[in-house]
Structure 1
Amino acid sequence: MIRVDKHPTHWTLWLDAPATRNALTADMVQTIHTTVHSMASDTTVRALVLRGAGGHFCAGGDFSSFQDMMATPAPSQGIDPIATANRAFGLLLQQLQRSDVMTLAVVQGAAMGGGCGLAAVCDWVLADHTASFGTPELSLGLPPAQIAPFLQRRLGTSRSMQLMVQTQRLNALQAFEHGLIDELVQDVDTGLQAWQAHWQRAEPAALRATVQLLRKGQAADSLNNTLDFAAQQFAASLRSGTAAEGLAARQAKRSPDWTRT
């Protein structure tokens, strides 16, 4: 479900599960983490490109895994395994944020929930007019736990609050105006070729040093604590009856109970 194309200047990491619009499973998250880690040792790589196969970037978390997690009993003590699983995605986002190479998301089709966060954490978001972004978590009875701090960093508090609370889907032009898209193009492959030419002209070590300097300027020591807390809140929400109702309502294509109070 994850495949990697290695080019002279960059690696392209494909989310390749078109049947689910590339919804993220725990195995996919772990594979991405391992791939990014192995890429770090290749000093010729100048950039990492994230793309989705089948016409969509990423639909977010895999709903079937949410159902499985709700079926597991809560521990009598210690960290909830749901929080651990949720936090694993945040660790991946942090890994991308700290990467020594430039990260670029190529977005076509849906980038929802975790997919929206995965794009937002990248240094540059290149998209075409089929792209759409959204954070539907609150309508499912869940907080947008691990992605919230990264969306806040990209969009600011007010825009992030609007996106999360209104749970609306932004089309490509709206996403560009909000700041979720950095470059809106007619053809993403042509846009990517232009970036490839820029990377080719950049000396690899100097480019990595530049990326590291920019990373230092945006570091925040409190992010770990924020994401740990977010994972705990996600676990509490998923174990509550509201999350089960939200997921059931989504599958039945109806409004959840809490909208009628």
Structure 2
Amino acid sequence: MTSSLQLATGEAPLHVAQISGVLFATLNRPDRRNALTDDIVAALDAECDRVKNDHSVRAFVLRGAGGTFCAGGDFGGFKALMREPAPSTGRDPIALYNRRFGALLEKLAALPVPTLAVIEGAAIGGGCGLAAACDRVIMAADAHLSMPETTLGLPPAQIAPFIVARAGVSRGRWLMLTGQRLSAAEALYAGLVDETSSPGGIDALLQSELARVLAGEPAAQRATKRIVADAGIRERSLVLDAAADDFAIALRSGNVTEGLAALAAKRAPTWQIAQPALPETP
């Protein structure tokens, strides 16, 4: 399955391709270094809504076209809102507009399948937030990232909780306070990235990561993501009660029988895809 969510101009802000259960979502405004325009945010938001209930999707890969992951926020919409005075009552429209991106990050983080971000070129500001909302982040050896909001006079409002969840409070706070530009090696040390590629080896690294993901049974992975998400917000005993129910469902599903049979026969289980294919980037 391959599709592009089209703009009125005929351009595609998000290119979508599904191969062997892997959904590849590619930010597709390379002329603007995949900056987070309204169209890109809306398209990615809609794709997250679609994937949430699509059990044919086993993994979600987010990357950028044209050799750049994402250059951060596009200020066109904010500039229009800034020309209007703040309202005397109610929330500022700028705050509501800003919060839309945080809602997207929440949706991305809550997807029930394994999610991977592939950073090439650069991840700036909101691009770092997109990556941090994913389960796994891999980065090309020659790429860099930064969160320069404070150097522009802004707080990193919507990305901050996701950066802290990845890098920790002290380190994440310092990186956001200073806007420091990080190499791939520095991003790995900071905890914002999980693996870095050799020069020119980002696709090979992605295939290796996907092979690991696709060795897992899909329903068990969805249950795992649900249990982990609950662990952060619910009382432990309630999490364990729900996890026991998930465990029972898994045992009765027949998938465990296949997994044990495959282990005994020293073969791959029926759900495993050992050599995942990658689409051509637009």
- Which TM-score band applies after superposition, normalised by the shorter structure? 0.7 to 0.9
User: For residue 135 of structure 2, what is the aligned residue in structure 1?
Assistant: 123
Structure 1 residue 31: deviation in Å? 1.2
Q: Distance in 2 between matches of 1:135 and 1:73?
A: 28
Pick aligned residue for 2:35 from 23, 34, 39 = 23
Contact 1:44–1:204 (Cα < 8 Å) also in 2: no
Pick aligned residue for 1:56 from 51, 57, 68 = 68
Q: How many equivalent pairs are there?
A: 221
Secondary structure at the counterpart of residue 66 of structure 2: coil
Q: Which runs of 4+ in 1 moved over 6 A?
A: none
Structure 1 residue 36: deviation in Å? 0.9
Pick aligned residue for 2:81 from 69, 73, 76 = 69
Q: Matches of residues 57-206 of structure 1 in structure 2 within 5 Å?
A: 57-186=69-198, 187-206=201-220
Larger Rg over CA atoms: 2
Between 1:193-202 and 1:55-64, the stretch displaced more is: 193-202
Normalised by the length of structure 2, the TM-score is 0.75
CA deviations on 1:161-210 (whole Å, 9 max, x unpaired) are 21111111101111011011101112121111122322332221111111
1:5 aligns with 2:22: no
Q: Distance in 2 between matches of 1:31 and 1:61?
A: 15
Contact 1:26–1:85 (Cα < 8 Å) also in 2: no
User: What runs of 5+ residues in structure 1 fail to find an aligned partner?
Assistant: 222-261
Q: Distance in 1 between matches of 2:210 and 2:124?
A: 27
Q: Distance in 1 between matches of 2:197 and 2:148?
A: 26
User: For residue 40 of structure 1, what is the aligned residue in structure 2?
Assistant: 52
1:213 aligns with 2:227: yes
Structure with the bigger percentage of helix: 1
Structure 1 residue 218: deviation in Å? 2.9
Contact 2:15–2:27 (Cα < 8 Å) also in 1: yes
CA deviations on 1:23-42 (whole Å, 9 max, x unpaired) are 00122112111101111221
Between 1:198-207 and 1:123-132, the stretch displaced more is: 198-207
CA, structure 1 residues 219+189, in 2 after alignment: closer, same or farther (shift >3 Å)? farther
User: What runs of 5+ residues in structure 2 fail to find an aligned partner?
Assistant: 1-12, 236-282
Structure 1 residue 3: deviation in Å? 1.2
Contact 2:16–2:24 (Cα < 8 Å) also in 1: yes
Contact 2:51–2:111 (Cα < 8 Å) also in 1: no
Counterpart residue identity of residue 102, structure 1: P
Structure 1 residue 220: deviation in Å? 7.9
Q: Matches of residues 247-258 of structure 1 in structure 2 within 5 Å?
A: none
Contact 2:63–2:117 (Cα < 8 Å) also in 1: yes
Counterpart residue identity of residue 208, structure 1: R
Counterpart residue identity of residue 75, structure 1: P
Structure 1 residue 9: deviation in Å? 2.2
Q: Distance in 2 between matches of 1:94 and 1:220?
A: 17
Q: Distance in 1 between matches of 2:206 and 2:172?
A: 27
Secondary structure at the counterpart of residue 116 of structure 2: strand
Between 1:193-202 and 1:118-127, the stretch displaced more is: 193-202
Structure 1 residue 157: deviation in Å? 1.2
Q: Distance in 1 between matches of 2:215 and 2:164?
A: 33
CA deviations on 1:103-151 (whole Å, 9 max, x unpaired) are 1100001111000111111110011112211111111111100011111
